Structure 1
Amino acid sequence: MRRFVLVLVLATLSAGCASVGGAQDWRPWRSRAEAGHIFVRRACAGCHAVGVRGLSPNPLSPPFRTLAERLPGAALKADLSAIASRGHAQMPPIYMTPGEIRAVAAYIRSVAPRSVT
């Protein structure tokens, strides 16, 4: 019985380690927006203000809370897809999987003023 429990615990841990990844790896206890927040803190916060307040470190980079208003509906995901493949203006391409794009879009909508979402 102890061996069975040990094998079960090791299998669970190895499965968890194998699935640790970016925002595409959102789990039931982590919302898509939370997964997007993890991604943008790592990949975008160097230039953009990614929270509900604050200025962007790069004055040319818009705060994320303004993007949902500037890119309503499907335009937000389309713009993120374009950024993933070819960048934008002074921004280099930031590779994102389709799941990461959905997660980042969900996060951007979550920090937008309530009148936009």
Structure 2
Amino acid sequence: MSYSTELNQTSDHREVIFRWLHLTDLHLGMDGLENLWPNVEEIFFNDLEYLCEQVGPLDLVMFTGDITQGGSESEFQQVDKLLTSKHSAISQRPLATLSAKPTLREREQLSAKGLWPLGIAHAT
């Protein structure tokens, strides 16, 4: 019996595909963002739906980089609220996992306030 070690094969020889979307540097809390986001939110989620129609369901959506502008507790609460509300909206489309990963600077700020490793509810 021989076993294939190629990544594009499974035991039944079908192709394995992992689809992911990486979003970075949201900077939630930045001056003016509260006026900008409502203008692009619907377009963003329409584009995400179109993307899924074209390439198939996403297995992972990652938010990384500077998720907040200043790393304040209130900004992370805004991130948590945004990801919680949008996770349910995104989950109505085919999607397995939503992940947010703060930067080292943001983790240090949270840690200094006694909020890390709790941080964001969706952090992995």
On whether the aligned pair clears a TM of 0.5, the verdict is no
| TM-score bucket of the superposed structures, by smaller chain | 0.3 to 0.5
More strand by share: 2
**Normalized per residue, which structure has more helix?**
1
**TM-score normalised according to structure 1 size:** 0.35
